[in-house]
Structure 1
Amino acid sequence: MVSSELVFITGGVRSGKSAYAEKCLEGLASTMPKKHLVYVATGVAFDEEMKQRIARHQNDRAGQQWKTIEQSTDFPKVLTKVKVGDAILWDCVTTWLTNEFYDGYEKGVSCFQKEGCLERKFIAMQNTIRTLRKRSIPLVVVSNEVLDEPLSTSYEVSLYQQWLGRIHQWFVAEATTAIEMEYGQMHQWK
């Protein structure tokens, strides 16, 4: 039986998702006897803008005793890095999907080009989320809403949009709470 909270937060870029997610997780953890706030980060500093975004997020949490786990791909590895008493903020699903989508690119063939690769990664992620919840580890999961646009005519972009939509639908179905952020304002859908 699943016993922990799963809060899914999506919204546009710079809509206040991460700040809201941090406060949400702190609220969930406040009821725990031993609380350890864990930030699972998926971002990789490939360029100057991403370096600045990562630094801003780290500065926002400075002095608040957050433990950061850098896990850009292979989400099940999180299971070996957390324990009962932890409360997890995973930021963010869209970056994780991008990382997994292009996993293997440096060897000439990206995951999205391999039969069943994305499906295996999705199933592994689902199983990891369910395992964390069975361990009574509350989760707040952040993602970006990039599905307001029509499906792209590019095969690659369209495939990414389809996968992201599928993942978002799964998270909303599994979540105890589903929230959309826009302009710093929260709308609770579930």
Structure 2
Amino acid sequence: MARGELIFISGGVRSGKSAYAESLVRTAGSGRKVYLASGQAHDEEMKERIERHRQDRQEDGWHTVEQAYRMDRVLENLQPNDLVLWDCVTTWLANELYEGWEKGSMCAEIPGCMEMKWSSLQKTILEMLDTVDVLAVVSNEVLDDFVRDELYQSWLGRIHIWLVQQAGQAIEMENGLAFRRK
């Protein structure tokens, strides 16, 4: 794999995309394995799941960076030659798009808010690729996600198109099988 290679992996829920992405990153080179996690602990069950996953990854040699929002803050945690797995775009998108809903004013309703976050994410991904050897990005399929919101699906589609355009490899997962689309 070339330095700064972006690999985009998409698939339905339980398609095997995350496990496939982990195996790709694990065998991509000798750099440090970094897992970018965008999940949030909204309740005790989720807090326990996140901690269990973090512990499992640590035992497997992964360095975990928890970043639910503001992916640009990840840059300070990356080193040259890192092998990075970001799982998952859909979690980040839901966090950012609906940020502020509990206060009655979410980003999705504020003109230009999501455009600003998307612009920052694009810049961040390109900066990551200037540092790391591999960035594998995992996402759910646009119409196969738990969120049935037209605005959410539109943003996810927009993000996917850009990621595929930037990617050296675009892979679609289905029932544990990988299909290279690019």
Shift of residue 77 of structure 1? 0.5
Counterpart in 1 of 2:90?
A: 94
Instruction: Report the 3-state secondary structure (helix = DSSP H, G, I; strand = E; otherwise coil) of the residue aligned with 2:39.
Output: coil
Counterpart in 2 of 1:116?
A: 112
Counterpart in 1 of 2:74?
A: 78
Matching of residues 122-141 of structure 1 within 5 Å:
122-141=118-137
Shift of residue 61 of structure 1? 2.7
Structure 1 gap ranges (5+): none
Instruction: Report the 3-state secondary structure (helix = DSSP H, G, I; strand = E; otherwise coil) of the residue aligned with 1:103.
Output: coil
Runs of 4+ deviating beyond 6 Å:
none
Instruction: Report the 3-state secondary structure (helix = DSSP H, G, I; strand = E; otherwise coil) of the residue aligned with 2:27.
Output: helix
1:184 counterpart (167, 172, 176): 176
Counterpart in 2 of 1:166?
A: 158
Shift of residue 63 of structure 1? 2.0
C-alpha contact 2:58 2:64 (8 A) present in aligned 1 = no
Instruction: Report the 3-state secondary structure (helix = DSSP H, G, I; strand = E; otherwise coil) of the residue aligned with 2:143.
Output: coil
Matching of residues 3-18 of structure 1 within 5 Å:
3-18=3-18
Instruction: Report the 3-state secondary structure (helix = DSSP H, G, I; strand = E; otherwise coil) of the residue aligned with 1:133.
Output: helix
Instruction: Report the 3-state secondary structure (helix = DSSP H, G, I; strand = E; otherwise coil) of the residue aligned with 1:43.
Output: coil
Shift of residue 137 of structure 1? 3.5
Instruction: Report the 3-state secondary structure (helix = DSSP H, G, I; strand = E; otherwise coil) of the residue aligned with 1:121.
Output: helix
Instruction: Report the 3-state secondary structure (helix = DSSP H, G, I; strand = E; otherwise coil) of the residue aligned with 1:84.
Output: coil
Opposite residue 23 of structure 2, the aligned amino acid is K
Deviations 1:92-132 (A, max 9, x none): 00000000011122333111011111111111000011011
C-alpha contact 1:29 1:37 (8 A) present in aligned 2 = no
Change in 2 beyond 3 A, CA 1:68/1:148: closer
C-alpha contact 1:16 1:184 (8 A) present in aligned 2 = yes
Q: What TM-score, normalized by structure 1, do the two folds share?
A: 0.85
Residue 26 (structure 2) pairs with residue 26 (structure 1): yes
Instruction: Report the 3-state secondary structure (helix = DSSP H, G, I; strand = E; otherwise coil) of the residue aligned with 1:46.
Output: coil
Instruction: Report the 3-state secondary structure (helix = DSSP H, G, I; strand = E; otherwise coil) of the residue aligned with 2:158.
Output: helix
Aligned-pair identity in percent equals 51
Change in 2 beyond 3 A, CA 1:3/1:66: closer
CA distance in 1 between counterparts of 2:180 and 2:135 reads 16
Shift of residue 62 of structure 1? 4.6
Instruction: Report the 3-state secondary structure (helix = DSSP H, G, I; strand = E; otherwise coil) of the residue aligned with 1:163.
Output: helix
Counterpart in 2 of 1:175?
A: 167
Deviations 1:1-50 (A, max 9, x none): x94110000101111111110111112224xxxx1100000011224664
What is the count of residue pairs matched by the alignment? 180
Instruction: Report the 3-state secondary structure (helix = DSSP H, G, I; strand = E; otherwise coil) of the residue aligned with 2:86.
Output: strand
Root mean square deviation of aligned Cα: 2.2
CA distance in 2 between counterparts of 1:53 and 1:13 reads 17
Change in 2 beyond 3 A, CA 1:59/1:124: same
CA distance in 2 between counterparts of 1:27 and 1:177 reads 15
